[in-house]
Amino acid sequence: MKILLVGEYSRLHNSLKEGLIALGHEVTIIGSGDDFKKYNVDYTVFPKIFKNNGIARFIKKGVYRITGINLEMTEQGIRFYKLLPKLKGYDHIQLINSDALETHPKLSIFLYKKLLKQNTQMSLLVCGDETPIIDYNLKGELKYSILSPYLEDKKLKRLFQYSLKYTQHNYRELFEWVKAQATVLITSDLDYELPMNRMGYTTHFIPNPINIDKIKYNQPEIHDKVVIFLGINRLSYIKKGIRFFEEALEVIKDKYSNKVEIIITENVPYAKYIQLYDRAHILLDQVYGYDQGYNALEAMAKGKVVFTGAETEFTGYYNIANPVAVNALPNTQAIVKELSYLIENQTEITAISKRARIFIENEHNYIKIAQKYLDTWKKST
């Protein structure tokens, strides 16, 4: 098959591409690279003019203030339009989000129509914010979600504008159009599978693909200090509950000053990010999850003990008796308690590390996952 993957926010599509290629298929990724993260893509729609040029950024702000039009989004749409002649003859297209083009919703629909006219079929992957996900999380029926801080304090609305945009009429219209055209809806983890099901959607749950051949396991060796890593993305700071980790680290730093080394980074490209946490034994990921996101899974594959989503819904689905990750709660003292236990019982770091790697190999093998995608696409035709 000849496959086009549209959008890349976490390296999910890159790992899927590697699995599909291993199975003998031809795969192309088009996307922006997700800003500072700079994920690999084959064709880029990164808005070079209005992102990198100082004068252009000044013009962009002025135009937005007067008209409400975001020229950066316009540029991405134009760049995709110019690439359309190269995007022909694909047997399957997968969008990583209804807003995979990151342009104006009406322009997205126009461009998707052009794309579909010259290709065969399309699927939608739900692996992040999406209209039904935000609709469900706004109900507040879960014990917590990425919208919990907003539900607790509506003054934070400005900081949740990216998530809340999916409730606007134009983005809702975009999602409904994409859903109607998609032959299948696929979810990547339980944080999206559960809300989609509860909102009445029929989905196919396929776990994230992790390239276990490229990511080597390193059994943790603690010679002196336990190394704890926290990588901060300011754009998702509140949604991931990073403040709970920061508060916990302040306590841990005072409590175990001679036993721990703490590494904190902020807004670094993906390639640098994974290098920076290589020395770490423990990685702090997020607190509002039920399942692991892509960064957590890659770290688990490397043998890190990851504080992330590992709720009962997750352990029940995968039938996990002994932890493969630490379920990080939005509670500072709970995080301090878990960190303290690992620092004082370092053999448990090794035990969780080994189980984490085995779990990734069993449930997230990129070639097996790629085959699941192929089977799902074929069944939906």
Residue 242 identity: I
Q: One digit per residue, pLDDT tens: the chain, 381 residues?
A: 999 999 998 899 999 999 999 999 999 999 998 666 678 999 999 988 877 677 777 787 787 788 888 888 999 999 999 999 999 999 999 999 999 999 999 999 999 999 999 998 999 999 999 999 999 999 999 999 999 999 999 999 999 999 999 999 999 999 999 999 999 999 999 999 999 999 999 999 999 999 999 999 999 999 889 999 999 988 889 999 999 999 999 999 999 999 999 999 988 887 788 788 899 999 999 999 999 999 999 999 999 999 999 999 999 999 999 999 999 999 999 999 999 999 999 999 999 999 999 999 999 999 999 999 999 999 876
DSSP-derived secondary structure letter, 199: T
Residues 90 and 172 in one domain: yes
270 & 169 share domain? no
Beta-carbon count within 10 A of 146 CB: 24
Query: Do 186 and 242 share a domain, yes or no?
Result: no
Residue entry with tokens 């859903």:
179
Q: Determine the Cα–Cα distance for residues 287 and 148; give it in Å rounded to an integer.
A: 11
Identify whether residues 354 and 371 lie together within a single domain. no
Do 48 and 175 sit in the same domain of this protein? yes
Residue at token pair 């630490």? 326
User: DSSP letter string over 78-114?
Assistant: HHHHHHGGGS-S-SEEEESSTTTT-S-HHHHHHHHHH
Report if residue 36 sits inside a domain: yes
Q: How far apart are CA 188 and CA 311, in angstroms?
A: 16
Task: Kindly state whether residue 114 falls inside one of the protein's structural domains.
Answer: yes
**Within-domain flag for 159:** yes
Residue 131 maps to which CATH number? 3.40.50
Indicate whether 87 belongs to any domain. Answer: yes
In whole angstroms, how far apart are CA 187 and each of 19, 54, 306?
Answer: 18, 39, 22
Strands in 326-327's sheet, in edge-to-edge order, are 260-266, 226-232, 282-284, 305-308, 326-327
Q: Report helix, strand or coil for 260.
A: strand
| pTM as predicted | 0.93
Domain containing 353: what range? Answer: 226-363
Are 270 and 358 part of one and the same domain?
A: yes
